[in-house]
Chain A
């Protein structure tokens, strides 16, 4: 069964450093998403991406965040200058059109020290 994959599973970085989180969505899906879950809190929407551009973004997704689909398979989330409060589990998800169902990857745990 096709699945969403994410790398790395755990990333430790120092405050102020740039990080790139990588995702490979399910191959025939056209909508891609990033969510985050700070430990013990809700899963929060960050951004959705369709047709090579951002379709929706939340207030959390400020100028230090960016997303890209650099080739036909990868979908990346870049955090330019990490802060302690960026420490969270980051989930990638993808969706086929016109389905309502989003399929999630296993997540990347980001720890900012």
Chain B
């Protein structure tokens, strides 16, 4: 079955530091890959996506590249801000018609001023 393995947290960084959160996956077929973010007390928000190999998703300074050869989709940001403090979830959508999401365990990011 499908699975997502995500770098364990928590991760604590100083403002303007470089962020990497590792994500690898196992899937049959050709999944789509996503990063979702959950701010304290809120639901899940789609941060970025990539639907095929070598696609780069980007949003709000965050980037992730769909690497089929390493089955990875690592999240990066060059300079984090205090407002980026949240839980980040890597997820894949199955290639079937329902496209239900399989999530990683989430990584808590805290950015200190």
Binding site for B on A (CB under 8 A): 31, 33, 35, 41-45, 48, 50, 55-56, 58, 91, 93, 95, 100-107
Contacts and interface: CB of A to CB of B under 8 A. Distances in A.
Contact of B43 (A31, A55, A100, A107): A107
Closest 5 pairs (CB-CB, A-B): A56-B98, A106-B43, A104-B44, A48-B98, A43-B103
18 contacts: A33-B100, A42-B104, A42-B106, A43-B89, A43-B91, A43-B103, A43-B106, A44-B103, A45-B101, A45-B102, A48-B98, A50-B97, A56-B100, A100-B34, A100-B49, A102-B101, A104-B43, A106-B42
B51 to A, nearest CB: 6
Contacts of A31: 98-99
Looking at chain A's contact residues, the main secondary structure is strand
Nearest to B99: A100
Interface of B: 32, 34, 36, 42-46, 49, 51, 89, 91, 93, 96-106
Nearest to A95: B99
A104 B100 CA distance: 13
Nearest to B89: A43
Given A100-B51, A100-B93, A45 B100 contact: yes
A105 B44 CA distance: 7
Contacts of A102: 46, 93, 99, 101
Contacts of B42: 106
A55 B89 CA distance: 24
Given A35-B101, A43-B89, A45-B101, 10 more contacts: A42-B103, A43-B106, A44-B103, A45-B100, A45-B102, A100-B32, A100-B34, A100-B49, A102-B99, A104-B36
Contacts of B104: 42
B44 A91 contact: yes
Nearest to A103: B46
A106 B44 CA distance: 7
A52 to B, nearest CB: 14
Contacts of B101: 33, 35, 43, 45, 93, 102
